[in-house]
Amino acid sequence: MGLDLVLRGGMVVTGSDSFRADVGISGGKIAVLAERLDGAQVIDAGGLLVLPGGVDTHCHIEQPEPDDFVQEESFISASASCFAGGTTSVICFVPQFKGHAIADTLTDYRRRAEQSMMDYSFHQIITDPTDDVVEREIPELIASGIRSLKVFLTYDPLHLDDRQYLRVLAAARRNRALVTVHCENYEAIKWRAEALVQAGMTAPKYHAWSRPKVVEREATHRAIALAELVDQPIQIFHVSCSEVAEEIARAKARGLKVWGETCPQYFVLGAADMDRPGFEGAKFMCSPSPRDAESAAALWGDVRRGTLDVVSSDHCGFSYGGSLGKKVHGENAAFPLVPNGVPGLATRLAIVFSEGVSKGRIDVNHFVRLTATNPAKMFGLYPRKGTIAPGADADVVLWDPGKRVTTTNALLHHAIDYTPYEGLEVTGWPVATIAGGRVVMRDGKVQAQPGEGRFLARDPYPLIAPTGVLADGFDAAPPG
C-alpha cells in the first residue's frame, strides 16, 4: 500500500486505549495502524503521544454581533491558533438576530467560513423562534447538516423566555438536532447588575457579583426540566462549578439525555482575577463567571465521575485594547457594558492535559475523550473525527507529554492581543498537528492555506434520538 505519510514509533492514544503503533496515512485518511510502516514521508514520533486532533465544539469565530460589527478572530487566524494548540475541527456559532430570519446572517457566515484552514461546522443560535423560523427555517437548516441549535437563557439581546425555549426544544425534537444551552437566569442577573451599578460598584470584579452560582444553578435546573418535558436531548454549556454539575448528575441518574461541558477557564481562572488593578480584570470576564480554586478542584471531581463530558474553549474574539474589544465602551466602562468571553483556542488542550493528566487527576484516555472523542460523538462527527482508526480523517496531534511551556500570547497565533493564561506554566504541549493528512503545524510553525478546511455537514445520529418518555404519554410536539 502506498502511504503518503507515516507517523512512526509513537504511543497511539484513543478515548479507550493506548498502544504502540505506526500510523499510515493515505488520501487524507488514516489507512492503517501497524507495527512497522513505510511511506513517502515519515515523521519520527518516538517518545511522543499520537492523539486524535482536538475537536472544539464551542468557539466564537468571526461571529457577527447585532450592532453591526464582527468579532475579531477570523477563520484564518482561528485555524492557525487551533493548529498551534492541537485542535483540528471546530463547531462555531451563527447568530440569528431578533426580528430577523436565520438566513439573514447564515448566508454571509457560510461565505466567511470558506476561508477556514481547518474543518468546521456550525451551531445555529436561535433568538427569535417565530412560526416561520420554527416551521420552515429550522427544518431546512437541520436538513443542510447544521444539526445543533444554541439558546441563551440570559444576555440582552439574545435570551429566550421559557415559552420560546420550549418552541426551540420542540423544533429540535421534530427535526433531530441537539440543543445546547447557556444557563443563567436573565432577570436575576439584570436585577443584581442594576443594583450594583446604582451603588457605584461598576468595576470588572462586580461581574462575578452580578451572577453568583445560584443563578447558573437555577437556570440549569429549569433548562433540564423543560427539556425533560419535551423529551429533547440537550448539552449544558460551560458549567462553572460543582453545584451546577449536580443538576446534570441528577438528570443523568434519571436516564435523561443531558450532557455537560466545561472549559479551561473554570479550572485555572477565578473571580479574583477580575479584581486586578485598573481595568485589567476585564481580560478575565466571561459568563458564567470563573469562581475560585476550591470550586475548580470540585469541578475535576465532576469530570472524573463522568458528569461533565466535554471540555471546550468557549473562545471569544475580543481583544483588550482596540475599538471592538473589551474597551468598546471605554477604558472604565461599567461591567455590564464589557463584552463577555475569553480567548482560548490554542490553550485548551495544554491546560486540560497539564491540569488533568500531568497532575494525576485523569488518565490520558480520559483527556482524549474530553477534548476529542466525546465532542465528536455528541455532535455527530464520530468516527470521522475524534479517534485514530482506519477510515477516520487523518487529524492527528503529536504530543510531547513532558514538555514544559510558559504560556505567552506570542505562542498562540490568534488575532487577540492577550491571553488570560499569560505566564501559566503547563506540562505537555503539541509538537506537530496533522489535519486531513496535511502537516499544518510543526514546532509552533503553522503552514496551511485559507480554504483548505471543509464544512462538516452532520447527519442524524442515534445519540440525539428522544428517550420516548413523555409526561402523561402526551406528545405536545409530534413529528410532522
Residues forming contacts to ligand URP in the complex (CB under 6 A) are 60, 182, 238, 286-287, 314, 316, 340-341
Residues in touch with Zn ion (CB under 5 A): 182
- Between residues 231 and 261, which has the closer beta carbon with respect to Zn ion? 261
CB of 76 vs Zn ion, minimal distance in Å? 24
From CA 83, how far away is CA 442, in angstroms rounded? 9
Interacting partner of 167 out of ligand URP, Zn ion, none (Cβ under 5 to 8 A depending on kind): none
Q: What are phi and psi of 454, to 5 degrees?
A: -120, 145
Residue 414 binding result from ligand URP, Zn ion, none, given CB thresholds of 5 to 8 Å by partner type: none
341 binds, options Zn ion, ligand URP, none, Cβ within 5 to 8 A by partner type: ligand URP
Least gap, CB of 175 to Zn ion (angstroms): 23
Q: Pick between residue 76 and residue 125 the one whose CB is nearest to Zn ion.
A: 125
What is the nearest approach in angstroms of Zn ion to the Cβ of residue 182? 3
Cα gap 92→335, rounded to integer Å = 26
Q: How far apart are the first and last CA of the chain?
A: 49
393 binds, options Zn ion, ligand URP, none, Cβ within 5 to 8 A by partner type: none
Minimum Å distance from CB 54 to ligand URP? Answer: 18
What distance in Å separates the CA atoms of residue 304 and residue 300, rounded to the nearest whole number?
A: 6
Q: Count of alpha carbons within 13 Å of 289, Cβ hemisphere only?
A: 26
CB 326 within 8 A of CB 319: yes
Tell me how far, at minimum, the Cβ of 427 lies from Zn ion, in Å.
29
Instruction: Name the nearest CA neighbour of 125 among 133, 117, 116.
Output: 133
Residue 268 vs 286, nearer CB to ligand URP: 286
How would you classify the pairing of strands 310-311 and 396-406? unpaired
Return d(Cα 305, Cα 311) in angstroms, integer: 14
Residue 340 contact among Zn ion, ligand URP, none, beta carbon within 5 to 8 Å by kind: ligand URP
Q: How far is the CB of 184 from ligand URP (least distance, A)?
A: 9
Output phi, psi for 474, to 5 deg.
Answer: -95, 125
123 makes contact, choosing from ligand URP, Zn ion, none, with CB < 5 to 8 Å by partner type, with none
**CB 324 within 8 Å of CB 72:** yes
Task: Decide whether 15 or 343 has the Cβ nearer to ligand URP.
Answer: 343
211 binds, among ligand URP, Zn ion, none (CB under 5 to 8 A by kind): none
The nearer residue to Zn ion, 38 or 187, going by C-beta atoms, is 187
In whole angstroms, give the CA distance from residue 89 to residue 435: 9
| 273 half-sphere exposure, CB direction, 13 A CA radius | 21
Nearer to Zn ion, 182 or 252 (CB): 182
Choice between 167 and 182, CB closer to Zn ion: 182
**Considering the complex, what minimum distance in angstroms separates the CB of residue 38 from Zn ion?**
47
User: Shortest Cβ distance from residue 33 to Zn ion (Å)?
Assistant: 38
Is the CB of 154 or the CB of 373 nearer to Zn ion?
154
Residue 180's nearest CA partner among 233, 226, 218, 129 is: 233
d(CA 60, CA 266): 18
Give the nearer residue to ligand URP in terms of CB position, either 55 or 357: 55
CA–CA separation, 249 and 306 (whole Å): 9
Burial class (CB in 10 A: 0-12, 13-18, 19+), 348: buried
CB of 162 to ligand URP, least distance (A): 19
Measured CA distances, 273 to 157, 355, 420, 471, 473 (Å): 27, 18, 9, 45, 49
Compare residues 64 and 430 and give the one whose CB is closer to ligand URP: 64
CB of 97 vs ligand URP, minimal distance in Å = 15
